[in-house]
Chains A and B, each alone.
Chain A
Amino acid sequence: MPITKANYKLPEHEINVNEKIKKHLERKKFEDESIRERGATGSFMIFREEGLEDVFVVDEL
């Protein structure tokens, strides 16, 4: 298989996990999990405001 940018995996960068980074990683894990757990049921907002029903694109706000 030819090597392309898509299938070439860069070697993993090793992080020297000190206390500060460990805390940071734990916090990141918590944030990611809490977002996933709360799990909104729709994917995104549907813009539906009274008086703006026919607004689909706005170039400047």
Chain B
Amino acid sequence: MSNNFEELQKSTFSLMDMWLKNFARNLPYILEGNNIKDLSVFQNEITYNNHNPTRTSIIIGKGPSVYEKNHLEILSANKENNTIVCSDIMLIETLKKGITPDKFDDFYVLTVDGEDEQVEFYDDPIVEEYSNRIKVILSTCTSPKVTKVCKKFGLNVFWFNPLIDDFRKEGSFSKIMNIMTRSENNPKGISSLQTGGNVASNSWVFSWAILGRSPIVLIGVDFGYPASTSIEETQHYQHLLKCYNNDVDRVKNGHRIIHNKDFDCDVLLDPIYDYYREGFCNMVIHTPKWLRTINATEGGSLFGENIETMKFSEFLKINK
């Protein structure tokens, strides 16, 4: 585990008060709501060991490659009825590009972050138009504003508790949240899920660990920038400056460039994407044998053990 990882993990933990505040305000909805477990294919006799996946899942993130490579347009024109798992930030845009439940009847959107701003990703007439055919996967720590807009539109919400800490230890927040979500509907409490730290990783976990999908194809999940990007123009630069008391050198030293040999390109990582990348690469080596993870972003920082890489159009061609 890198020092960078530990530092960011600690710093992220400082958002705990926001998560718990959200959790408390969502509780009345959670107690009467659906459990993510209701969507799981791993019930009765089906386990990770004997599962035989039959359907592809396509994860849609907002990385720059999704625009550079026109992946939404390519997906919209595709006729295969694959499962769509959309990060919340891409929901409205995805629907507007014609990637809708009319074409893809197995359509999910996820929210894991707790900020109030996430509500903007849902609050649009096109979301209301498709509300009865989109399944929304919400962390119990999500902003209550998101919960309210989902309720307003009549979206079908499924809850999960995010795994936060070691539930074997006394006083674990993960355990407490599980206990507090026990109800008549869900006597064992709401199931807990690895989030991977961000909505794209969370969508990947959900796709295989709940839906049992494979292969899982990533588009717009870059976790990095083209190496030519100036550090000042990167997504998290201002935020990092604030966190590091405007220490420009410290922020700059936290960046590094790696070579993606699969797509033969250099990728700039800021400390946050480095953290996500390390988390993802660690998760992907602990998955069942039947799972194929395909990076189809045609760039980005996700490569290595258990990650295949392929052009998106090529994948769609050979998986007809």
Contacts and interface: CB of A to CB of B under 8 A. Distances in A.
Interface of A: 4-7, 31, 35, 37-49, 52-61
A60 B124 CA distance: 36
Interface of B: 1, 5, 8-9, 11-15, 17-18, 21, 37, 40, 42, 112-114, 123-125, 127-128, 139, 152-153, 162-168, 172, 174-175, 178-179, 188-189, 191-199, 201-202, 205, 209-210, 236, 239-240, 242-243, 271-272, 275-276, 279, 282-283, 286-287
Contacts of B124: 6
A56 B162 CA distance: 10
A6 B125 contact: yes
B192 A61 contact: yes
A5 B12 contact: no
The 3 closest A-B pairs by CB, nearest first: A46-B279, A42-B12, A47-B163
B178 A60 contact: yes
Given A48-B1, A58-B163, A42 B8 contact: yes
Contacts, number: 139
B178 A61 contact: yes
A52 B12 CA distance: 20
Contact of B12 (A7, A44, A58): A44
Given A57-B40, A58-B191, 14 more contacts: A4-B125, A38-B15, A42-B8, A42-B9, A42-B11, A44-B15, A45-B162, A47-B162, A47-B164, A47-B195, A48-B9, A59-B37, A59-B188, A61-B192
Contacts of B168: 49, 52
14 contacts: A5-B128, A6-B127, A37-B242, A39-B242, A41-B236, A45-B13, A46-B5, A46-B9, A46-B196, A47-B164, A49-B165, A52-B166, A56-B209, A57-B194
B184 to A, nearest CB: 16
A60 B189 CA distance: 7
A61 B133 CA distance: 31
Contacts of A58: 163, 167, 174, 178, 191-192
A57 B112 contact: no
B239 A44 contact: no
Nearest to B127: A6
B282 A57 contact: no
B272 A61 contact: no
Given A40-B13, A44-B12, A44-B113, A57 B128 contact: no
B194 A43 contact: no
A45 B195 contact: yes
B125 A46 contact: no
A4 B22 CA distance: 27
A42 B163 contact: no
Given A43-B198, A48-B9, A57 B179 contact: no
A43 B127 contact: no
A41 B205 contact: no
Contact of A47 (B178, B191, B194): B194
Contacts of B13: 40, 45
Contacts of A60: 178, 188-189
A40 B166 contact: no
B175 A44 contact: no
A7 B152 CA distance: 12
A9 to B, nearest CB: 11
A12 to B, nearest CB: 16
Nearest to B270: A41
